[in-house]
Chains A and B, each alone.
Chain A
Amino acid sequence: EAQVTQNPRYLITVTGKKLTVTCSQNMNHEYMSWYRQDPGLGLRQIYYSMNVEVTDKGDVPEGYKVSRKEKRNFPLILESPSPNQTSLYFCASSYRGISETQYFGPGTRLLVL
């Protein structure tokens, strides 16, 4: 089944404890991206990747890192999480870019205490 998977789906952590949210797609998509969704603010793009080893900042990259070492994986890293990073996170992918259908993962709910 073609899909985007994210892990973990739910995470409670404490300020400053490094964490990684994984994202994987099995559709051979080139474009992958991360979003956060907060009430009243909608979805905001954190980082995106046009292909392996090609990443760039979105609108809200502060406090996040990404890497794209393989085409299928695009992990989101929070080196030192803070409470203002409590949010619902979505990973998405598309075949070649932003002019095409974005396929979203199921989301990761993160609470930083």
Chain B
Amino acid sequence: RKEVEQDPGPFNVPEGATVAFNCTYSNSASQSFFWYRQDCRKEPKLLMSVYSSGNEDGRFTAQLNRASQYISLLIRDSKLSDSATYLCVVNSDRGSTLGRLYFGRGTQLTVWP
């Protein structure tokens, strides 16, 4: 089983739509969770960290459910510039896997006018 699983999409939504991405992780010892954004074959860039209590940054909301080992990203009022691939990232900082980061395969989003 992969460490991090994401629905690859693609998601095609009109401007102004609300879209949600989900991600599950397999290691219950994982401590840190992130969403990164990657534009076509460019380097990934941090979108936001995901905190246990959930957090919001403008139109973006991230949620963490430790019991279900599930992370979500909600984008409200989608913009054309939100078109990208969104990567779910989970760390493993205990035992033999200290120092490793695990990336999901990414969810592709296209926002159309």
Contact = CB atoms under 8 A, between A and B. Distances in A.
Interface size class of B (residues with CB under 8 A): 20 to 34
Nearest to B106: A42
Contacts of B93: 97-99
Contacts of A58: 100
A85 to B, nearest CB: 18
Interface in A14-64: 31, 33, 35, 40-45, 48, 50, 56, 58-59
B103 A42 contact: yes
Nearest to B44: A104
Interface size class of A (residues with CB under 8 A): 20 to 34
Contacts of B36: 102
A107 B100 contact: no
B44 A42 contact: no
Contacts of B41: 88, 107
Contacts, number: 57
B43 A98 contact: no
Nearest to B85: A42
A45 B100 contact: yes
B36 to A, nearest CB: 8
Contacts of B100: 45, 48, 58-59, 98
What 4 pairs between A and B have smallest CB-CB spacing?
A104-B43, A42-B105, A43-B103, A98-B91
Interface of A: 31, 33, 35, 40-45, 48, 50, 56, 58-59, 88, 90, 97-99, 101-102, 104-107
